[in-house]
Amino acid sequence: MNDYYATLGVARDASQEEIKRAYRKLARKLHPDVNPGDEAAEEFKKISQAYDVLGDAEKRQAFDVGADPYGQAGAAGYGQGFSFSDIMDAFFGGQAGGAARGPRSRQQRGQDALLPLEIDLSTAVFGGNADLVFDTAVLCPTCSGNGARPGTGTRTCDVCQGSGQVQQIQKSFLGQVMTTRPCSNCRGFGEVITDPCFECSGEGRVRDRRTMTIKVPAGVDSGTRIQLTGEGEVGPAGGPAGDLYVEVRVKKHPMFQRQGDDLHCSVELPMTAAALGTTLQLDTLDGPRDVDIKPGTQAGDVITLKGLGVTHLRSTVRGDLMVHANVRTPTKLDAQQQDLLRQLAKERGEERAEAKFQPVNHGLLGRLRDAFAGK
């Protein structure tokens, strides 16, 4: 009978970690790729057989009472019976395949969720609260996330005996290689729910409608995303919830147009008011404000109201409100009004005023375009 403890150089009461450590050390030394030769290959085969037996709790227990799987004339073929992942473990520190051994947890993190939120311009400027109503995955109220009907539980999987994995021997260029895969009976959990919850069917979560109020910070704009940590979908088996992302959409305002942190609007002035000057009252987002129109105001002139624009995101500084003047030329004049304008033109020497042509970008349309382009 083989003495696998002596082969690996460990005591009979050695722990699984000590056995694994001894195998790794010898595998690095005797592997054919590192130490070519028939003698090293034979020694490598012996330590592989030893670890295949001692590295498995059930096989080790059977060996200790006299059962030796390699006792009948040894293993037929190089590498027979050893686990390929064990060899990879010896050289790469247990990272082969990227999966840890043992059953995996039923609890998994829930998915993130993305919801649209439409707000008005005033909320974007000053911030505020908004209500959200949405359907999502929540913890099952009947089983509290464990997936089992109240009063019942789980049992150890009969196929994998609670390990969450099953082993399979396949032929390869190394001989017979033992591979490990998740157990299909318990899906790798190591346990089976004997009586699933009738409400969630063993999932541990159900779909439900949630209502919540969120705080919208001042300065948001269309496309801004607000992250709410842990407010997404609850994970399977009551796992931690993902995050909720709220994407803002700002509704179009009938009067104001946003450009960065500034707001723009236009005011239509009679020709006489533009010429003589006046004071107008404008309903801003901050309430009524007086707008002083200087005498001689031209079409396209901009009156700036400081600090009445949009609050800069994550700041208390606000942009400006830009009021664009639009001078209205009268189209219907009676005889008396026409005489008065002719007298004015005569007084100003403008009976035969010559037109002064300018590039289009210096006119009203150009100035408005430049203002909205930030020039």
Neighbours of 305 (CB within 10 A): 19
What does the block give as tokens for 334? Answer: 């009676």
Burial label for 41, CB within 10 Å (0-12, 13-18, 19+), is: middle
Q: Give the number of C-alpha atoms closer than 13 A to the C-alpha of residue 365, restricted to the C-beta side.
A: 4
- 62 and 74 Cβ atoms separated by less than 8 Å: no
- Amino acid (1-letter code) at residue 230: G
**Cα separations in angstroms, 276 against 273, 292, 297, 327:** 5, 12, 8, 12
E strand or H helix at 117, and its extent? Answer: strand 113-119
Phi, psi of 9 (to 5 degrees): 75, 35
Hey, is 370 helix, strand or coil?
helix
Cβ-based neighbours of 244, under 8 Å, separated by 6 or more: 112, 113, 114, 115, 227, 228, 231, 232
Cβ-based neighbours of 271, under 8 Å, separated by 6 or more: 327, 328, 329, 330
What does the block give as tokens for 20? Answer: 């694994």
- 298 and 241 Cβ atoms separated by less than 8 Å: no
**Residue in the structure block whose two tokens are 């919801």:** 115
What does the block give as tokens for 30? Answer: 């005797």
Please indicate if the annotation marks 143 as binding a ligand. yes
Please indicate if the annotation marks 186 as binding a ligand. yes
Please indicate if the annotation marks 265 as binding a ligand. no
- 175 and 80 Cβ atoms separated by less than 8 Å: yes
Return binding residues. Answer: 140, 143, 157, 160, 183, 186, 197, 200
Return binding residues for Zn(2+). Answer: 140, 143, 157, 160, 183, 186, 197, 200
